[in-house]
Amino acid sequence: MRLSDFKALTFDCYGTLIDWESGMFEALKPLTSRVSPALSRDQVLEAHARHESSQQLSTPAMIYSELLAVVYKRLAEEWNVPAPWEECRAYGTSIKDWPAFPDSAEALAYLKTHYRLCILSNVDNASFAHSNRRLKIAFDAIYTAQDIGSYKPSARNFDYMLEKLKGLGLRRPDILHTAESLFHDHVPANAHGLASCWIYRRHDKQGFGATMNPGAIPKHDFKFNSMADLVAAHRRELAS
């Protein structure tokens, strides 16, 4: 199997293209600064993952920015610190400040010349619009949790994406699903018979950070530590 075998790359955004862990950790500081004893970065991110996943299961149609506000409230309760609702809501809108990884925009610009590029993201449309400006690319399709009414790893999200991509003339063998999260993306990609590419952004860290532990490591067809590494591998293929 070669990267050049595919016609389309479908991307998770947050954790893969946007550095959501840095964005989250920074935006949570008004809350975490009141916690004693102080929590490590991974303790904060892992607690966030638990509450986010639970809330997504409980309220699958809730818009992501609103869901994040509830997650903030749950974290405040777990850590026994005060959090006025206005502060919770401010956290929900912090997505607009989450940075792109330094290599994302340049890599996407290169890949756009070789593939159709699509997004399958656990976010709402307004929030993604802010991130899209940081990524500086016109995606061929954008499928959000708000569009679908559920959150990954629900099979509904992948069913929806595959149905819509079929309408664009793309069949399952044409698609390489490209993502960091094993839990949200690679497990359901396996279940849907999709080839997948793991962008292992946390390669130099322990644990799973802001995503849930997937259990057994799912199958993945390619693995790179960054988007820049993916581009370099594609260039080598073409050169050979």
- Cβ within 8 Å of residue 231, ≥6 positions away: 106, 107, 110, 111
Residue 10, classed as helix, strand or coil, is: strand
Give residue for tokens 């756009």: 112
Return the H-helix or E-strand segment holding 71: helix 64-79
Taking the mean position of all CA atoms in its chain, how far away is CA 239?
Answer: 31
Note the helical H segments in 80-168: 85-92, 104-111, 125-135, 145-148, 155-167
Which tokens sit at 215?
Answer: 């259990």
20-27 helix and 41-58 helix, angle to the nearest 10 degrees: 100
Contact 226, 199 (CB under 8 A): yes
Query: What's the rounded Cα separation, in Å, for the pair 17 and 106?
Result: 11
Which tokens sit at 191?
Answer: 């279940």
Residue 59 one-letter amino acid: T
Which among 172, 190, 173 is positioned nearest to 181, based on CA atoms?
A: 190
Contact 9, 178 (CB under 8 A): yes
Query: What amino acid positions are annotated as catalytic residues?
Result: 12
